[in-house]
Amino acid sequence: MSYKAGQYLKIAYPHGEFMPFSIANSPTGSNEIELHIRVAPDDLDTEQFIELAATTKQVLITGPFGDCAYPKENSRPLIILAAGTGFAPAKAIIEKIIEMKDVTRECHLYWSVKQSVDFYLPDMPKIWQNALINFHYVPIITRSEKLPKTTMLEAVLRDIGNFSLYDVYVFGPHALALNTLQLLSERGLKKETLFTDVL
């Protein structure tokens, strides 16, 4: 399958419905596609899909889809907002930046989860910090009992003053994308430089 970093595909579940999953690895010419699949409590459909895939070694997929593809035809700095498994397409984009040897491009990754155990690849951002000169990583835990409560948007608004200079990628629910557009536009973000597939 030919695709770009940041895109997603759809997988046929046992009951016939196609479900979207972001591709988590950069397109490198190999035939492998990495997916990050979260199985929520009582999510019987996903449990059945994983069991079927493990048994048959075959799945039906279609795609790719999505307008959050990287690279864009510019050298603007990036802000990537990833909620939960929204880390998957963020990973693909950052891997692509490294593959392109664009090591000086400014990139800010904000990864928001509910609990610390939800950082399912906790060492990956540390590897990227060693590979990229201007890579900045901010982990956010929204339900921590030990840390001050903050949201991803509160953190990015605290860190960045002028969003007119940035391309902003949002990988998360509709409410996050909508709030990002509303709040960051007050500091210069243009709709055409916000990339999301949920608005």
Between CA 163 and CA 173 the distance in angstroms is 21
Identify whether residues 40 and 138 lie together within a single domain: no
Distances (CA, A) of 57 to 2, 12, 37, 51, 89: 21, 14, 16, 10, 24
pLDDT cut 70: percent of the chain above it: 98
Identify whether residues 86 and 168 lie together within a single domain: yes
Q: Write out pLDDT tens, residues 114-123.
A: 999 999 999 9
Identify whether residues 114 and 59 lie together within a single domain: no
Identify whether residues 107 and 155 lie together within a single domain: yes
Domain range holding 108?
78-195
- Strand order, beta sheet including 135-141: 135-141, 107-113, 78-83, 167-171, 194-195
Q: Write out pLDDT tens, residues 124-175.
A: 999 999 999 999 999 999 987 776 678 999 999 999 999 999 999 999 999 9
Q: Write out pLDDT tens, residues 58-74.
A: 889 999 999 888 877 77
Cβ atoms of 43 and 49 closer than 8 Å: no
> Whose structure tokens read 């201007």?
134
- Using a cut of 0.85, tell me whether the model's pTM lies above it: yes
Number of domains into which the chain is organized:
2
Identify whether residues 47 and 142 lie together within a single domain: no
Tokens linked to 99: 């593959």
pLDDT cut 90: percent of the chain above it: 68
Q: Write out pLDDT tens, residues 18-28.
A: 999 999 999 98
